[in-house]
Chain A
Amino acid sequence: MERSQMYRQLANMRKALFDQGFLDEQFVQLEELQDDANPNFVEEIVTLFYRDSTRLIHNIEQALEKNPLDFTKLDSYMHQFKGSTTSIGAKKVTNECTQFREYCKAGNGEGCKRTFEQLKKEYALLKKKLEAYFQLARQIGPVESACRPK
């Protein structure tokens, strides 16, 4: 595929992610931080996110299996998780986190579980999309999507 085509495709992918609400403004911030000194910053951070959050997700899952539910703990885990998702700009996932927190506060175990399932879906979906995105970006070369290929 021609580079410019790839580039265009990448731009489209990116736009779709924003339009569909997967990513928000924060992601743009990450992109802005990427420069010559940090050429793969965005990808690095996203990778770090997925690696670290796996642990958190696992913790939450375990906590959700307990009976009775410890909402404080759940809230605490979610707090951490939310911190991460907002930092990378994962909008939909963050929304689910907020929803989850609401249920925790209300002591609604069922609501929490439901929301968590939803959250996992969004999380997985975003991961797939971002992976495709970064893969394409890498193909294009060191020049980031923000730069026009020569």
Chain B
Amino acid sequence: MTIDRSFDEPNDQFPVGMRVLAVDDDPICLKLLETLLRKCQYHVTTTSQAIMALKLLRENKNNFDLVISDVHMPDMDGFKLLELVGLEMDLPVIMLSAYGDTKLVMKGISHGACDYLLKPVRIEQLKNIWQHVVRRKKTDSKDQNNSDKPCHETEGGQAVTGTGDSDQNGKLNRKKKDQKDDENEDRGDGGHKNEDQSTQKRTRVVWTVDLHRKFVAAVNQLGIDKAVPKRVLDMMNVEKLTRENVASHLQKYRLYLKRISVVANHQANIIKASAGADSPYLRMGYLNGLGNVPCMVGSAQFQNADVRSLSSSGMLGRLNTPVGLGMRGLSSSGMVQLGHADNLSEPINNQNKFHQVILPGNQNGNILQGMPMPFEFDQLQHKNVVDHIGDLSSANNGSMVFPISSGLSDGSMNGNSSRNSFLGTPHNPVMLQGQPQGIKRDELRGNQSFVTVASSNREYSSLLPNFRRCIDGWPTVQSSEIQSNSFKSSDCFKQDTPNYLIERKSSIAMDTGNKSNDNSSIAAVPAGFPVLRTDLQSQAAPRQRSNAEKNMNHTEKQGWDENKANPSHGPNLMCSSMSSNNMIGQQNLVDSSTMQHNEVEQSALGTTANPKQGNLINQRKPQDGYSFDDVGSLEDLVTAMMKQEEDMSNIREGDWVYI
């Protein structure tokens, strides 16, 4: 029997003493809310800034039971905050707004809100909000229990929990029925990620990059539509992971895919618009050495065609050369920034920077390195990612030389480069969740999109240093290699791999794709980087595919194969990564605002990406930190990227940045 700690903590007199965090930029509403909540005998903490709210939550997730947030806030969109909280802390979030348009409410639900209240709030409504906390805890408990029991594998299998956790289907259905109530289910899913079954606490499974990769690989193998939690779970073969965990994650993943496909489309358009000039560059460089560049340039900014090339390692490389490292090119071209007018959430832009930086000169460079994976910065700003990126960006200020080194000259690239800085720190801190590295989210916010692939360490922190190294390495590398295609870079990768690709602990990295509408661009997802790139790749892949793929094909194939031994990986990887990235990123990151874009892209992406993602992710997995040892991955990446060309546009969305 699982212990239901929710009731015991923090107060035995629950709901009295329930700890609520209230966020609203309007001081009057905030004060009123605070007073109302106190009247209900809750313990209230207020803040008028979303950033501060996140900070408080991150300091200690266990400090709060529930979050109430306004939708309309100047520093951060309420929906974004909602997603972040859901992903990172898995707390129930209630949205508050003066407007109750159906669309807004729908949006709230799809972002995972437990409830949606209209201002002015009445005390009667607040008196019942504790139910969301209870419900979630119960769901978590049940998940724990259920994992032991044989559950249906089908989507509906999660009947146990009763919540909509079980596959999206259930969730989606529910959503339609009752928007508000369904939110809980969505939330409940997050809670399923419980690995700690013994305590039955609301322990959450942290979907590290590695884990997520496995997940995506499994899903891809099964086929996105046919993937059922039980099968996925079996395939992943991870201890302590329950079916419920997988189911809820699957649900989110699907949403993400959907979102990114929408966004990807959107972004593709943007990229196209902006890409014009850069494309030539992109094509060349990327495919060349980058192969590995799984740069998922989350920022999807890859401006469509151009981006694509960029995305794949080529991008990075390309940027370097022609554009003078393109970074600028990238940014404009979309490598990083898909021109993402939309939200690309700042991070993406930053990412672009990263990408660019990295590429300089290194054509081979792993474009991916910088790939800020899931551009879904907005949403998922994974903390880690964000933070990491922040660092990167600060370091290079955009010129983050992502270790894309991979692309950079084969040998010269020193491991760093190959690493490809996956900097793609997710624009959203969400992306990198779980990364201990202290990427300051706030900083990163802007940068977020970069998911820095920390080499060797999963931790992001390590990433940063890597990047710096890479950066240093870049100059040398660049000149030397730019090579192209040969996946020399892959060789490079092999050497070091990197750190950059360091897997992000948090699976959220995937988000990168989503976050920013931008392009999740998996930008250079040079397959080579088994690392996280999966996201990047997928993200970038779609775009870059065309370019990158060419280059990458060679390398990627190898790389991927090596890494993972998944036969499908090769080209798939790219694709999958891209797609997965997108999807993943999208799911998480999908920023509400970006959602619109994402939707478009998602659909596009979703189609192609799905299968592929699995591959890429798989590849990554093998390496724990994404060591680029497998050069082959680059090739795969390339191939994948190529495949994903079309996906790229989709991917724009927060590519999953695995960092």
Contact = CB atoms under 8 A, between A and B. Distances in A.
Interface of A: 26, 29-30, 32-33, 38, 41, 44-45, 48-49, 52-53, 76, 79-80, 82-84, 86-89
A149 B99 CA distance: 41
B548 to A, nearest CB: 38
A79 B35 contact: no
Contact of A45 (B28, B72, B99, B119): B28
A84 B120 CA distance: 8
Nearest to B124: A29
Interface string B7-28: 0000000000000000001111
A53 B28 CA distance: 9
Interface of B: 25-29, 31-32, 35-36, 39, 70, 72, 97-99, 119-120, 122-123
10 contacts: A41-B35, A44-B31, A45-B32, A48-B28, A52-B28, A83-B70, A83-B97, A86-B98, A87-B26, A88-B32
Given A86-B98, A86-B119, A87-B120, A38 B26 contact: no
Contacts, number: 56
A49 B25 CA distance: 13
Contacts of B39: 33
Nearest to B118: A86
List the 6 shortest-distance A-B pairs measured between CB atoms, nearest first. Answer: A83-B98, A84-B28, A86-B120, A87-B120, A26-B120, A49-B28
B120 A89 contact: yes
Contacts of B122: 29
A38 B35 contact: yes
A83 B26 contact: yes
A45 B31 CA distance: 8
Given A33-B123, A49-B28, 7 more contacts: A33-B36, A33-B39, A44-B31, A45-B32, A52-B28, A79-B98, A83-B98
Contacts of A26: 120
A80 B31 CA distance: 15
Contact of A76 (B32, B72, B119): B72
A97 to B, nearest CB: 9
B39 to A, nearest CB: 6
Contacts of A44: 31
A24 to B, nearest CB: 9
Given A38-B35, A86-B119, A79 B28 contact: no
B35 A33 contact: yes
Contact of B28 (A29, A32, A33, A87): A87
A91 to B, nearest CB: 11
Contacts of A52: 26-28
A84 B98 CA distance: 9
Nearest to B123: A29
B28 to A, nearest CB: 4
A80 B28 CA distance: 10
A84 B26 contact: yes
B603 to A, nearest CB: 27
B120 A29 contact: yes
